[in-house]
Amino acid sequence: MESRKNIAGSACGLVGLVLTFTGVAGPYWPVVVAGLYGAGALIAPPERPPLPDFPDPSAQLEELREDFERLRGYLREVGLPPVAAAGAERLDEVLAALLDPGWAAELLAQDPESLHVLARTVRRDVPEAVDTFNRTRWWTRLAPGQQPPEHHLERQLALLHEELLRTADALRETEARRQESHTRYLEDRGQAG
């Protein structure tokens, strides 16, 4: 009833009724009214489906914080070797700083690429690295003499740490550019006055 096609068709149908009452349509008035309704329905723009209701970035960030807490619990249960545990702790510090509520989180919520990097690290990369380490460690016990899986885990955690530091640097650079832009604005405003 409220579709664009029905409204346009009805408006054109009303024009047909006006033509009928003014005597222009003559004895063929039903065909004129129906034809104008059909023409109006055909020329009306099609209905657009509503946009999907995706969560806003702050809701995504809150979900990511919850996932990070679950990851922390998982890492406490796993029992990593000392060097890998130290790497996981460094990774935890950077993630905690980036996900901490406040202005850094607000900036992160506005940068979908950085948010994606953090989500991928928390939800996939770290759990997969630790799980693979645990499974490989079990197999290594059956076939000694292989390269210890701790080396791969340490390297993976170091690579993830470097990626998070690059993400933090990118966010810092964004804020630095914003600050420089504001300085230029104030300088230009002072010169114009």
Q: What global pTM score does this model have?
A: 0.67
Q: Coil, strand, or helix at residue 15?
A: helix
As a whole number of angstroms, the distance between CA 118 and CA 128 comes to 15
Confidence of residue 191 (pLDDT cuts 50, 70, 90): confident
As a whole number of angstroms, the distance between CA 96 and CA 164 comes to 11
- Please check the confidence at residue 136 and state whether its pLDDT lies above 90: no
Q: Coil, strand, or helix at residue 143?
A: coil
Digit-coded pLDDT (tens) for 62-98: 899 999 999 999 999 988 889 899 999 999 999 999 9
As a whole number of angstroms, the distance between CA 59 and CA 184 comes to 34
Query: What percentage of the chain exceeds 90 in pLDDT?
Result: 37
For 139-162, what is the mean pLDDT?
84
CB 82 within 8 A of CB 148: no
